[in-house]
Amino acid sequence: MDTMSLLKFNSEQWMRFSDYELRTDANGQRYIVPTEDAVGSMYVPAEHAREIMLDAVEIGKQLTKDLPVEVVEGLILGFVRRHGVLGIMPELPMNDNFAEVKQTSLSESWFFQAGVAPTEQYIGMFFPFNKEMAETIPGSLSIAALSGREPVYELVFSRYYGEKVQWIATYLYELFRCFFAYLNFDNEDDAELRANSRKIIAEFPKHKMRYGINSDARLSVHFTSLKALIDFAFTISVTNSEKPMKMCKHCNKIYYNENARSEFCSGRCRNQWNVYKSRGNKNKGE
């Protein structure tokens, strides 16, 4: 069974603006925020969970290279333009009601150190160009309520909500690092790589999960963020016994194929690999 079908009936919506831009805050931090005249619209990311996840891991792979800052920023901006922001603000606090209380407890994550921060300061980090937003949570009949989410999503879906380029880059990089570890957790030739890889995959973030039954008697899973959806799609892919998530032997593209014998992302890559291989053999005088 394709475990990705677990997501097929998930109709939860996510916000994506028509355009985003890079801006620098007063402390010199680079952020991605919607452009001033961008229009927001909702979409159902679970319908594209696999594609979004593969896109995330593929960009993470690019980030392992030594790239100029502009190229990194372009990759991250492209990702957000295609799928929206990660939405990590409501996901990371340990206290679910953080927006209603004065203190926010954070556990250790790829983004923050463990500790307690004043909630206003925590939320303020996501509103670098409009600090007043962090102090108000609008009431009902809002976009958050209409999409079936808690009031705090009014902030996440607002045009003033932004995420640091560094946060998104760290996430995509770590996601690829976990994928690479997954490819090597049973490496028989390199015991050290195998041990490190096993450690890295076991440290993949744990999620609190909310789930239920929808009106069509199907499983419905609640995702606190786009990141949580990507993490879920990644988790069910790498734990699938068919090992459908692979890296192409010829071009290194990350792709999904449930055929256990598949080694190439496309027929073209398989043909090119065979051509190079036969040429290589000829050069050796065979």
Which residues of the chain form contacts with Zn ion (CB under 5 A)? 248, 250-251, 253, 265, 269
Closer residue to Zn ion (CB): 59 or 248: 248
Distance in Å, CB of 59 to Zn ion, minimum:
17
Question: Residue 232: which of 50, 27, 95 has the closest Cα?
Answer: 50
Asked whether 179 and 57 are in contact (CB, 8 A), the reply is yes
Are 257 and 244 spatial neighbours (Cβ–Cβ below 8 Å)? yes
Shortest CB 250 distance to Zn ion, Å: 5
CB of 253 to Zn ion, least distance (A): 5
List, in order, residues 6 or more apart from 159 with CB less than 8 Å away: 17, 33, 34, 38, 40
Q: How far apart are the first and last CA of the chain?
A: 44
- Closest to Zn ion by CB, 204 vs 255, is 255
- For the bound state, the minimum distance from the C-beta of residue 96 to Zn ion, rounded and expressed in Å, comes to 43
Residue type, position 169, single letter: A
Specify which residues 213 forms β-bridges with: 219
Alpha helices by DSSP H, 185-266: 191-202, 226-238
Nearer Cβ to Zn ion, position 170 or 262? 262
What is the closest distance, in whole angstroms, from the C-beta atom of residue 246 to Zn ion in the complex? 10
Q: Which is nearer to Zn ion, 62 or 105 (CB)?
A: 62
Nearer to Zn ion, 33 or 254 (CB): 254
